[in-house]
Chain A
Amino acid sequence: QVQLQESGPGLVKPSETLSLTCSVSGGSISNYYWNWIRQPPGKGLDWIGYIHYTGSTNYNPSLKSRVTISLDTSKNQFSLKLSSVTAADTAVYYCARQAFSYSSGWSDFDYWGQGTLVTVSP
């Protein structure tokens, strides 16, 4: 059974960089797309971006100038960096798996982490 686990600081100061890591267990990072999704308190879900196991990335244009997603295949981990944060970046951050195959097409977000709350405050 694939499991994802987010980790990182729960408090970040305004203008600083938010950094989170997602550890994948019970399966390989290979052949999948690895995503970050966030949910501001009491609000809906927003897709941040993904990194493919080959290293290619795709980011939401609304955050593209501030987001970097990277991969460490040796540790079965991928990471999120969000720069110049403000209070609007306060949210629960989830990592999630996505797949694509030419036979089955897209399979979005079949496995999720438990989420980690990041608060942006002085």
Chain B
Amino acid sequence: EVQLVESGGGLVQPGGSLRLSCAASGFTFSSHAIHWVRQAPGKGLQHVSAISSNGRNTYSADSVKGRFTISRDNSKNTLYLQIGSLRAEDTAVYYCARGYDSSGLIDYWGQGTLVTVSS
């Protein structure tokens, strides 16, 4: 069974930083691209970042570029999102999600971790 378990969320002050983690199991982690998608309270879904299966290629949305860094450790089956210079508008549930193949199809999602940016 494919499982993605996020952790690391919490309350952080504006300008602060956090590192989110996503522990994967039930599939060959090193064979899949992984995405971060966020959802602000009561709002829709926004693709934030993605990383290729080998970690060499990454993508970050313009709204987070330079502030968020995605990385992965295939030896630990774990994905990371370092988020910094946080703003109130970064408040959201952050989901990690598995890319099925190179098409961009996302087939499985984690349960999410809530990041709240507030003073």
- Note whether A and B form a binding pair: no
Q: What is B's interface to A at a CB cutoff of 8 Å?
A: none
